[in-house]
Amino acid sequence: MKVEDIRRVLILGAGHMGRQIGTLCAIHGYEVVLYDVAAEALTGALPQIKEYTDQFVIEGSLTQEEAKTTLGRITATDSPEKAATDVDLISESILENPELKGKVFGEFNKLCPSRTIFTTNTSTLMPSMFAAATGRPSQFAALHFHAPMRGVNLVDIMPHPGTSPETTDLILAFTKRIGQIPIILKKESPGYVYEAMQNAFTGVALLLRVGEVASMEDIDRAWMAVTKMPFGPFGLLDRVGLDLVWYISDYQSNQSGDPITRAVADFLKEYVDKGWTGLKNGRGFYSYPEPAYAQPGFMEGE
């Protein structure tokens, strides 16, 4: 299959990232179908995508007619059979669990055409962990997007040892068609490039807080004062989503049995249990749209 043959893109997982990836593909002319087993995810998907396109119109990056056309290219379904019909490429953004990802891909392997390329948007897992379970490992690789996609057009392409060169080349060509800057990893590595650096940064901040070395606010102040950044590591974590950060920490803790990782996961769980998952729902470590770190006096400790 050539890049010109890709016309229909299936998004597995209609959550925060899936909606953004689907919008991006639709803007660039692709027919998009969103699939999710959760009814609430599908119910909220199209209204939020309309909010995205409305914002693009306000910013001047889309016309009203282009926004309308973009929305017309997107459908949502909870039927695997309908979702898989005539699909050329899959982008998966479900929970960070290799067994679950492998199971879902295995189900769609039975339903999709033989030509369909499978990609995962996993943040921390290696594609080789569930490549065999996809049923088509040579046509499978990680294609990782960064949020918020309105301001970041970088993608990571991470093949696993069994990914065919043709698949890597096709994914590379596709990313350019949707206006992204692709980085191809020479081998599998946790967190890709930017996120590997980001995870080290936020990971240390969490350890400082959980270890009661300093308060969350003072940790952010330390970073902001020296780097002159507008927010610190906890403000950044709010942008990532505390539910995702907790899920990854919890999974890693269960795998390793490390008590420090467990302490971090338990700390994050307190926020997730309250529904405080970050910027996307108005409250995480800080409250939005006017977080404390953006207010006058924050750097002085007021």
- What is the per-residue pLDDT for 302? 67
- On the question of a common fold for 3-184 and 194-293, the answer reads no
Tokens of 248: 């990854």
- What is the per-residue pLDDT for 158? 98
Q: What letter does residue 292 receive in the DSSP assignment?
A: G
- What is the per-residue pLDDT for 133? 98
Distances (CA, A) of 50 to 84, 98, 169: 24, 32, 32
**SS3 letters for 102-151?**
HHHHHHHHHHCCCCCEEEECCCCCCHHHCCHHHCCHHHEEEEEECCCCCC
Task: Please determine, looking at this structure, whether the domain spanning 194-293 carries the CATH number 1.10.1040.10.
Answer: yes
CATH second-level architecture of 3-184? 3-Layer(aba) Sandwich (3.40)
Tokens of 40: 């609430």
- What is the per-residue pLDDT for 25? 98
Give the residue extent of every domain in the chain. 3-184, 194-293
- Residues 219, 208 contacting (CB under 8 angstroms): yes
- Taking the model in full, what pTM does it have? 0.85
Per-residue pLDDT of the chain (302 residues; tens, 9 = 90+): 999 999 999 999 999 899 999 999 999 999 999 999 999 999 999 999 999 999 999 999 999 999 999 999 999 999 999 999 999 999 999 988 999 999 999 999 999 999 999 999 998 899 999 999 999 999 999 999 998 777 789 999 999 999 999 999 999 999 999 999 999 999 999 889 998 999 899 999 999 999 999 999 999 999 999 999 999 999 999 998 999 899 889 988 998 899 999 999 999 999 999 999 999 889 999 999 999 999 999 999 86
As a whole number of Å, the CA-based R_g of the chain is 20
